[in-house]
A and B are shown apart, each in its own frame.
Chain A
Amino acid sequence: MRAAVVVFPGSNADVDMFQAVEDVLQVPVSYVWHGETDLSAYDVILLPGGFSYGDYLRSGAVARFSPVMEEVIKAAKAGKLVMGVCNGFQILLEAGLLPGAMLRNRSLKFRCTMSRLRVENHQTPFTCEYGNQEVIEIPIAHGEGNYFCDEATLTKLRENNQIVFRYEGENPNGSIDDIAGICNEQGNVLGMMPHPERAVHDWMGSADGQRIFRSILTTWRERHRAATHA
C-alpha cells in the first residue's frame, strides 16, 4: 500500500500525518504538492490539516480548485480511500465529496484540546479496528469545526450510517447532531475534525488514533487479497 499526503500552501499537519503513517503502518508514504496532476501511484490519499491558502474567503474554498483536487475526486469516485482531517475535511466538503459545510465554532473560540469521540460506525474502511460504539480520545485544534447541513441531508446521513464519529460529552464546536466525522455513501471518503495523526503514541496523550491507520491498511489488504484471488 502506498500513501499520499497532499500538501497545500498553508498545510501544517502534513508532517504529523506523514509521520503517523510511517510510524504506525511502515508503508511507503510521499508528500504530493497541490499542483500535481497524477495520483495513480497511490492507494490511499490523505488531506492534512492546516490553513490551505490561508483559509481566505472560506476554509478549503480555494484549495478545492488546486490541480490535484481533480485527481482526488477521480480517485474517490474510483473507490480509493480518501481521508481529510480538519482543513482536509473542509476541503472535501467544498469539493462536494462529502455533504454539508463548516461554520465557525459556536463559542467563537479556537479549541485546542483532547476530545472524546464515539465511534458510531465501526464498519467503514477507516474504523473497522474499533469496537461498536467505542469511546476514544483524539485531539482537536480548530476554530471552524462547526459542521452544518440541512435537515434532509442530516436524515440521509443518519439513514445511510454516514455519521462515523460523534463528540461524546461536550461538543466543542456546536456541530449539528454532535457530528465529528462523516463518510460518503460508498464509505471510501472520510472527513473528520479531530486529528488521529496526533494520537498515535501513548506519549502524545493517547494512541487511539492508531487504529484509523490500521483500519485503512486492513481494508487495503482485504481488497488487495480479494483482487488477487479474483
Chain B
Amino acid sequence: MCKAIVYVTLRESVLDPQGQAVQGALHSLGFDEVKGVRIGKYLEVNLGTADKVQAEERVREMCEKLLANPVIEDYRYEIVEG
C-alpha cells in the first residue's frame, strides 16, 4: 500500500512569526549559527492503493483542493510504501 508524506510550508515571501520566535529561542540558547527557521506542517496520508501513479495524482489533487492554501503556502510530497 502507498502512503503519502506531505509537507506544507509557508511561501518564502510570507512572514513566519512562529519560525521567528523559535529562531529567537535558539539564539538565546547559544545556537548563534541559526540564520532562519520556518515552521510548516507534516502530514501522513494512507492511500489504500498500491498504484503509485494513481496515488500521486490523487495526492496532488488533495494538496491543491484542501491541504495547502496556494495564497500563502507551498507543498511537496513523497509517495512511499506504507
Contacts from A to B (Cβ < 8 Å): 57-58, 61-62, 65, 94, 99-101, 103-108, 148-150, 174
Contacts and interface: CB of A to CB of B under 8 A. Distances in A.
A90 to B, nearest CB: 10
B50 interface: no
A54 to B, nearest CB: 15
Contact of A61 (B10, B15, B18, B69): B69
Contact of A104 (B18, B41, B69, B71): B18
A65 B72 contact: no
A53 B73 CA distance: 20
B21 interface: yes
A108 B69 contact: no
A57 B72 contact: no
B14 interface: yes
A108 B18 contact: yes
A106 B17 contact: yes
Nearest to B70: A101
The 3 closest A-B pairs by CB, nearest first: A101-B71, A101-B72, A108-B17
Nearest to B65: A65
Kindly name the residue among B18, B21, B69, B71 whose own CB sees the greatest number of chain A CB atoms within 10 A. B71
A16 B30 CA distance: 48
Contacts of B18: 104, 108
Nearest to A60: B69
22 contacts: A57-B41, A57-B66, A57-B67, A58-B69, A61-B66, A61-B69, A65-B66, A94-B69, A100-B71, A101-B69, A101-B72, A103-B10, A103-B15, A103-B17, A104-B18, A106-B15, A106-B17, A107-B17, A148-B14, A148-B71, A149-B71, A174-B17
Interface string B27-56: 000000000000001000000000000000
Contacts of A101: 69, 71-72
Nearest to B13: A150
Contacts of B17: 103-108, 174
A57 B75 CA distance: 13
Nearest to A94: B69
B21 A150 contact: no
Contacts of B67: 57
Given A103-B72, A105-B17, 17 more contacts: A57-B67, A58-B69, A61-B66, A65-B66, A94-B69, A101-B71, A103-B10, A103-B15, A103-B17, A104-B18, A106-B15, A106-B17, A107-B17, A108-B17, A108-B18, A148-B72, A174-B17
Nearest to A99: B71
Interface in B4-32: 10, 14-15, 17-18, 21
Nearest to B10: A103
Contact of B71 (A57, A105, A106, A150): A150
